[in-house]
Structure 1
Amino acid sequence: MAEPIEFYFDFSSPYGYLASCQIDDLAARHGRTVRWRPFLLGVAFKETGQKPLVEQPLRGPYHLHDFARSARRLGLPFRLPTPFPFAAIAASRAFYWLEARDAALANRFAKRIYQRIFGEGQVPADAAALAELAAPMGIDGAALAAGINDPAIKDRLRQATDEAIKRGVFGSPFIYIDGEPFWGHDRLGQVEEWLARGGW
């Protein structure tokens, strides 16, 4: 059985959103599954000395334009939320709490979170908002809200972020195929070709 594709992302990343809508189907076409791995991009920015794209001179206005254009090309809804950028700590903790119980459901919940943020333009920034979002999926909202504040889950997110940075993850999305790194949703074509050809 082939190893899962590793999909690193931050819920505050528009390009991560675009990739999240494609990565599972792409992997399935090549007999792979996906290991979803949220991490905190802000911590990586401290390591690289970068700022969020939209806060960078010249690059910021371009990316604001490109987010929407890229979504239109894929036929995906896109609304930039307010505030933006934002910290996605609670959403990431919610994912890891749920993953420990049901990894497949956690992946679906991650997609729903992304849809709420960039498809609908709303940030579920706290435990109550995430619990409300989880309830229609059959997830115990009260348990999830408690889990977000569990010290063990806080440590799990810190560990996941540290592990990502040690591996060389510096942006979102960041994809590994059998150890081969690809950065950016615009590399998904290369990801697919790599899977089809077995590398080059």
Structure 2
Amino acid sequence: LELPQAGAIRPQITYSVPRFPTPSTSTSTHITHRAPFNTAYNNCAIETCCDWDHSVSLLIRCLFCTSAAISIIPKTAKMGGKVDAYIDIASLYSYITFYHIIKNQELLAAHGVQIEFVAPFPSPCTVTWVTLSISIHPVLLGAINAASGNKPPWSLPAKAKYGNFDARRSSVRVGKPDITTPDSFMERSMTVLPLRVLHFIKANYSDAVYQTAWHWFLHCFWEPPNANLTKPDVLAKTLADAPRQYPGDTRDRLFSEADVKKILEGAATQEIKDSVKAKTQEAIERGAFGAPWFWVVNDEGKGEPFFGSDRFHYMYEYLGVPYQDIAILPPQGKSAKL
């Protein structure tokens, strides 16, 4: 077993592991290592064990560090798919999409769906059977609209009027009844600064921190008193006020004063600016004309686009994830409407 070179950043490395003698199988195992063990690999010990149940598996555990996440997959196993979700803070239906995903992440995990907020150093060491992953990417909706020629829903009066009904219904259905459209929405919708912040957090903090930051930003933007995250001072205060868990206990803070300073400085670098542009361009090249936009690859390697927060049933069907569709129930006695 060869470790990656010291100093490597977020490697995606597949190791070939020699076949272990087993009673009934000749299957070898692939191991995907998603983060460097540490900066001095000669101090990192590896422990292996085997579990021969119905399929071949190999457990590798680092005895010293807690910064490694290892996915272990039988070489003969049929791989699942991948969902790339492109969302913007200024998109109401991106908020609904995000909340649907995190609200259902435990159930999705039970079906082998891994929510990848693309953390470079997940902790502690974990072993996961991965059959499907969903990755969340911050993108600038205004740039997508401009590139595709699309116009915001409120630019058409009839659509804007209907949109009020649909927004209320969608918010209540997903479990976010307090969502309200902020005043001066056009000004606030230019969310490039908070998107850069999210890209920096994604590249430098854990999966849990990135997820909480996303949820907190969406909450502050869309729920009273509706923070204007396009203003640097408001953005800094929002970061400083972010709870370690949201929703949950708000007494502990997610970021220290030093963290906030580092994040804001890092978000202003050319590298992070280019990162936002690159992910937005990736969505455009995959056909995006709005948000949330999804690019979904099934277990046969075929990719298709999906659009909107109400298309999960189509995605689950495409990916082979079991779900229960909307169905009219038979009448129960006097409750029949017709």
TM over 0.5: yes
Deviation at 1:112, TM superposition (A): 1.1
Query: Within the alignment, does 1:154 sit opposite 2:255 as a pair?
Result: no
- The answer to which of 85-94 and 42-51 deviates more is 42-51
Amino acid at match of 2:255: G
Amino acid at match of 2:203: A
Larger radius of gyration: 2
Distance 1:180 1:103 in 2: 29
- The answer to which of 89-98 and 161-170 deviates more is 161-170
Cα contact 2:88–2:139 (8 A) shared by 1? yes
- The answer to which of 7-16 and 21-30 deviates more is 21-30
Cα contact 2:200–2:272 (8 A) shared by 1? yes
2:97 — aligned with what?
Answer: 19
Distance 2:148 2:110 in 1: 34
- What secondary structure does 2:310 align onto? helix
Amino acid at match of 2:231: D
Distance 1:9 1:174 in 2: 7
Distance 1:122 1:79 in 2: 12
Structure 1 residues 59-70: aligned runs within 5 Å: 59-70=159-170
Distance 2:86 2:174 in 1: 21
Identity among equivalent positions (%) equals 27
2:318 — aligned with what?
Answer: 194
Aligned with residue 75 of structure 1, among 175, 178, 191: 175
Deviation at 1:67, TM superposition (A): 0.9
Query: Within the alignment, does 1:5 sit opposite 2:83 as a pair?
Result: yes
1:108-127 CA-partner distances (Å, limit 9, x unpaired): 21111111111333232233
Distance 2:90 2:82 in 1: 24
Amino acid at match of 1:23: I
Amino acid at match of 1:81: P
- What secondary structure does 1:15 align onto? helix
Deviation at 1:72, TM superposition (A): 1.3
- Number of residues of Structure 1 aligned to a counterpart in Structure 2: 198
Cα contact 1:94–1:144 (8 A) shared by 2? yes
1:131 — aligned with what?
Answer: 236
Distance 2:206 2:296 in 1: 19
Deviation at 1:174, TM superposition (A): 1.2
1:126-172 CA-partner distances (Å, limit 9, x unpaired): 33323322232125111111122112211111111111111112211
Amino acid at match of 1:177: V
Amino acid at match of 2:211: N
- The answer to which of 133-142 and 154-163 deviates more is 133-142
Aligned with residue 109 of structure 1, among 207, 213, 233: 213
Distance 1:194 1:29 in 2: 18
- The answer to which of 125-134 and 109-118 deviates more is 125-134
| Greater strand content | 2
Distance 2:232 2:262 in 1: 10
Distance 2:155 2:193 in 1: 23
Q: Identify if the C-alpha distance between structure 1 residues 70 and 161 changes in structure 2 by more than 3 Å, giving closer, same or farther.
A: same
Q: Identify if the C-alpha distance between structure 1 residues 132 and 59 changes in structure 2 by more than 3 Å, giving closer, same or farther.
A: same
Distance 1:66 1:122 in 2: 23
Deviation at 1:29, TM superposition (A): 4.6
1:36-91 CA-partner distances (Å, limit 9, x unpaired): 11111111212222221112231111112211221112221311112213211011
| Greater helix content | 1
Where structure 1 has 5 or more consecutive residues not aligned to the other structure, the ranges are none
Where structure 2 has 5 or more consecutive residues not aligned to the other structure, the ranges are 1-72, 74-79, 116-133, 241-252, 298-302, 323-338
Distance 1:84 1:30 in 2: 39
CA RMSD after TM alignment: 2.1
- The answer to which of 19-28 and 35-44 deviates more is 19-28
Q: Identify if the C-alpha distance between structure 1 residues 63 and 50 changes in structure 2 by more than 3 Å, giving closer, same or farther.
A: same
- Where relative contact order (Cα < 8 A, 6+ residues apart) is larger, the structure is 1
